[in-house]
Structure 1
């Protein structure tokens, strides 16, 4: 019976596509330790109390929230509660969400465009590189896209069945999506509304009533959490991280709203987890003056992820106060705050965070093109064929659905073409419409080609050629990294496919099969290769993106600002006093290392073993731009032994210091600053009250980096230093030459790799000790 049902109902190619998606998204995620440490720390906090769970508190004391609304973190916390808090357990919801998105694309395309179109669309969604990259982390966007596709499916179902219930549910789900990533969820609302007006068979009065009701439901659900939080007295809830005003609505419409378009990050905004305000403007200026033509040579010592120990040594060589990843904001400036020279360094390919120069062709620039744009040329050309038969009085269901996908694609593409502040992984928002239009368009263009429908029959060869040439353009930028064979092969296959399609169209159809095979290979080789890179090269869990330049430390400008973040960060290849490591470019001078391409491609240097070690460690996601620190068993033992009944083990100046003790040891820790060091989370009076009430007596201050009091509330830091007794380092911290047994155990099997990297690199994010920033433990008793 089951076998008969399976044969008659199951779509085996779809099952295979979903398995491919599951492998791409889920393989090796168990190697991730902390993933995006900022979010994983919040999950650790949310597991400790319902108060922290509801408000999405970053720390145990409910001091400050993460800079996003809570829904995705609620889901991740439930997963961690069931399976235990691990990197893979907080990634798992996003893996399932991406596989679910592949299925939803299939279900959305199939009814109007055929099973084959649905399969092609599902496959295109599965191999969209940026979708794979972000789904392998605990960042929000994969879940957001799944939620929006679920809303779309409900809307389509309501219109097809002429029922208003699913339509209301669709807008309810969008309201839930708002509580995942705020205004980004509303990017599809115009498409949903337009499709309802075009597709619904109700009269205009009924349409108006339903839309009004839908808008009311959307607002009510969207603002439900915000209203509860903002109406709660400030002293009874955490400070709203990155809001600037302690308001959810300001967070939604400011830092997570208008600031993303304008690039103005002054209102509660932070640059990469607490960059200092005095050089944010320099970063913007640098990105404008050093665009695609700027080149920067970096060695693979400039890693993008890493977990530093509490003594400041990253387990992959990234000291907490050493060098930040290359390829962030444009330019070749050296250093950042805390010593060193100039402003943010690294080659970004233009734009903040290496997102290219603003303009209508931004998505086709080398800085962004490898993430989601591979099949965009085909989707745009195919849209012409899909809409060619549209008439004013003959708008079919197919036409309406094509208009819907274009109404999703065009505004989102327009936003990213002009936006001043976004990361590469936000481009997953483009994946659904491109995939749907590709699948539906390929089948439609094939039918027009076979039927020799005049000029429309030439759209298929044109689309194949345009897509193949564009793929060649993307790949050839990476010839120095992956070899020129890939780009040449794609171009040759594309030309062969196009020529055979033309010949078959004019003379003989016997070449058609070979033409299709060559064409499909030409269009899919690039995105498939890029989709595999998060597995083969490792990824950056803080700022995920796809592409082989992850191998060299976040190429294409996808990382955070380069240069040295402080005056320490020494390793075998590191330099003191803010100098760049050997093998990197200083100012505009080049050396014997391989140069990066004009779009910020970071070429790799060093032996293959070194590269494999660094790639392996990066894939574990143990940190990022604010590289989290590894658990120091000596520190933990000291603090536990000397705890005299205090509620909190200690108070940390930044989340990266607190993370391992909350995530691995399950301890209660106070974090005195949020993602943005300028958030006024604590005052001297509040800290003094905590000490007097016996809730905390130890304070761990990490200097020289963002996210700590030294770059945030200097009055709190001054008070702690004035009233605190400095604990000698050798009493509580594992120093050079010592071994932290807990850290070894937590890295299970990667000890040799990590120790080698510690000896070689010595770069990383804020915080740490003399090898990567200063760290001091104070005891205060009143």
Structure 2
């Protein structure tokens, strides 16, 4: 029975994580309707599923590669279009990420008990990070990105333990699939993994380099096969690549989802204004509330590991784990801190596995070292770093028991420093002081419905605005408009100016809707192409995005609430000048035939 306790404890952790992430999940509706509509399109058309199209007739793709949509599209195809069919896969990815992180910790330590403890600490920590609770209950691609990155970390540890080329190749292939989830963001974990293998694998340098080269080839193949497929298919036989300027995946990867986000070139900033660049970004505002609770403790754990490694007190695989996870944390943290383009707070969820792993590693190393004065100081430092920052965050957000958290952390640190007799109680008290802030915010996040394109963890007492309330399209709740579109028999039931409105119309009507201008003003269709589609009877209605209220005089143009560009305005002008409007519910509608 003694050797079975890790299994039973892990089962309890996974069951608790599943309950936390699945509880009242449908309260968020379809979450991000943009990706939900694409999942519906993928369920209706295998071609749309393959390309990641926003509509089943393949007019335009979403502004990300399709790997995450492959999962939700299959779920909707099997279970039908329902909020749980869209959101439950993300929650299950969260449970899987906790399990994989546990397995990674078990493989890191030669002592089975130490590995189990480190895995349980890391798994619970990951499950209770507010950013993780947010994104594993939402249908953005980040859930799959975090899971695949954690799987790659598992493969990295297995690669160091092994002398075979197979595990490095496995890591490369998984990172390649992660690239097809969120492009260049997937590569942020690679430097840490490569450094761990180069410095800690028990084989000759030439073989290490050769194995990493093979991993690089696997990464290129894993990421490039879909890119090549899209490039080889004629443009008129596939959807336009949303977010690109030249209808190519590479431009999307290195432009809109690359340099634009990091350098801020032609990129809209986060709603409410950009945060000041620098490491303080991770500790302030919404990003601080979502990820930073145990970030100081993770940094202290990194220092503990570095000290023990320099003293020769860590095994080879443990050193590799330190390099891999610390590299993940530092590289990702620096990019998130200094990127000058679009920087949404929920991007910080990619830090969650690294923070959790380092807390698990540092706690286990300090506990192993507890009989020495240095070990007790290390445990006290972990507790003080985490509890003091947690207390400050709670105080900043108006939580009344913030001082109690600080006092508990100080008491725990004192008990850990005194001696062996108080180590156990001090560790339990310290764990409580470390966890309480993150737990409170995670529970509050789970209890808050999340909608829109930029979800936030939880609305705080100060009344700080959150992007979760951003406009998603009044048309989604208009049953009369939905019935009108559902009765059409043209390839596209309607066209509308922008992807948000198109997504809402698709979900409500179950039809394909042409998103003129895509998500952020894509140059499709041209006016000439749109006129041809109308004259050929491919589109039945034009719906003004955002709800128009009473009908306007014939020829008067109603401006869109979506992203507006010259060519989308040109199309809207032509529609308004050519066809008479009518009001359906709260929407201004033009019949194009």
* TM-score greater than 0.5 by the shorter chain: yes
- Contact preservation (8 Å) 1:379, 1:434: yes
Q: Using the alignment, how far apart are the partners of 1:776 and 1:464 within structure 2?
A: 59
Aligned CA distance change for structure 1 residues 665 and 718 (closer, same or farther; 3 Å) = closer
- Contact preservation (8 Å) 1:709, 1:717: no
Q: Using the alignment, how far apart are the partners of 2:186 and 2:474 within structure 1?
A: 29
Normalised to the residue count of structure 2, the TM-score between the two structures is: 0.91
Instruction: Tell me the CA shift for residue 360 of structure 1.
Output: 2.8
Q: Using the alignment, how far apart are the partners of 2:574 and 2:277 within structure 1?
A: 45
- Contact preservation (8 Å) 1:709, 1:716: no
- Contact preservation (8 Å) 2:93, 2:143: yes
Q: Does 1:72 align with 2:68?
A: yes
Q: Using the alignment, how far apart are the partners of 1:241 and 1:90 within structure 2?
A: 21
Q: Equivalent of 2:44, from 41, 48, 52?
A: 48
Q: Equivalent of 2:10, from 3, 14, 19?
A: 14
| Alignment partner, residue 58 of structure 2 | 62
Instruction: Tell me the CA shift for residue 208 of structure 1.
Output: 2.4
Mean alpha-carbon deviation: is it higher for 201-210 or for 214-223? 201-210
- Contact preservation (8 Å) 1:629, 1:659: no
Q: Which has the higher helix share?
A: 2
User: Unaligned stretches of 5+ in structure 2?
Assistant: 546-557
Instruction: Tell me the CA shift for residue 62 of structure 1.
Output: 1.5
Aligned CA distance change for structure 1 residues 516 and 709 (closer, same or farther; 3 Å) = closer
Q: Using the alignment, how far apart are the partners of 1:415 and 1:709 within structure 2?
A: 30
- Contact preservation (8 Å) 2:107, 2:157: no
Q: Does 1:496 align with 2:411?
A: yes
Deviations 1:563-591 (A, max 9, x none): xxxxxxxxxxxxxxxxxxxxxxxxxxxxx
- Contact preservation (8 Å) 2:475, 2:505: no
| Alignment partner, residue 780 of structure 1 | 592
| Alignment partner, residue 674 of structure 1 | 518
Instruction: Tell me the CA shift for residue 545 of structure 1.
Output: 2.9
Q: Using the alignment, how far apart are the partners of 1:694 and 1:50 within structure 2?
A: 24
Instruction: Tell me the CA shift for residue 541 of structure 1.
Output: 4.9
Q: Using the alignment, how far apart are the partners of 2:347 and 2:218 within structure 1?
A: 26
| Alignment partner, residue 183 of structure 1 | 184
Q: Does 1:329 align with 2:260?
A: no
Q: Does 1:630 align with 2:549?
A: no
- Contact preservation (8 Å) 1:138, 1:541: no
Count of residues paired in the alignment: 574
Q: Does 1:85 align with 2:81?
A: yes
Instruction: Tell me the CA shift for residue 460 of structure 1.
Output: 1.7
Q: In structure 2, the residue corresponding to 1:705 is in which secondary structure?
A: coil
Q: In structure 2, the residue corresponding to 1:713 is in which secondary structure?
A: helix
Instruction: Tell me the CA shift for residue 137 of structure 1.
Output: 0.6
| Alignment partner, residue 533 of structure 2 | 690
Deviations 1:452-472 (A, max 9, x none): 24x453122122122211111
Q: In structure 2, the residue corresponding to 1:216 is in which secondary structure?
A: helix
Q: In structure 1, the residue corresponding to 2:509 is in which secondary structure?
A: coil
Aligned CA distance change for structure 1 residues 709 and 446 (closer, same or farther; 3 Å) = closer
Deviations 1:284-334 (A, max 9, x none): 6xx9xxxxxxxxxxxxxxxxxxxxxxxxxxxxxxxxxxxxxxxx324xxxx
Q: Using the alignment, how far apart are the partners of 1:541 and 1:442 within structure 2?
A: 38
- Contact preservation (8 Å) 2:161, 2:317: no
Q: Does 1:717 align with 2:572?
A: yes
Q: In structure 2, the residue corresponding to 1:389 is in which secondary structure?
A: helix
| Alignment partner, residue 533 of structure 1 | 444
Instruction: Tell me the CA shift for residue 661 of structure 1.
Output: 4.0
Aligned CA distance change for structure 1 residues 466 and 697 (closer, same or farther; 3 Å) = closer
Q: Using the alignment, how far apart are the partners of 2:441 and 2:161 within structure 1?
A: 37
Q: Using the alignment, how far apart are the partners of 1:708 and 1:381 within structure 2?
A: 44
Instruction: Tell me the CA shift for residue 133 of structure 1.
Output: 0.4
User: Unaligned stretches of 5+ in structure 1?
Assistant: 272-283, 288-327, 331-351, 561-617, 619-623, 735-768, 770-774
Deviations 1:30-59 (A, max 9, x none): 233221011111112222222212211112
Deviations 1:358-391 (A, max 9, x none): 1233322244222112112122212222232324
Normalised to the residue count of structure 1, the TM-score between the two structures is: 0.70
| Alignment partner, residue 467 of structure 2 | 559
Q: Does 1:653 align with 2:574?
A: no
- Contact preservation (8 Å) 1:63, 1:670: yes
Q: In structure 1, the residue corresponding to 2:245 is in which secondary structure?
A: coil
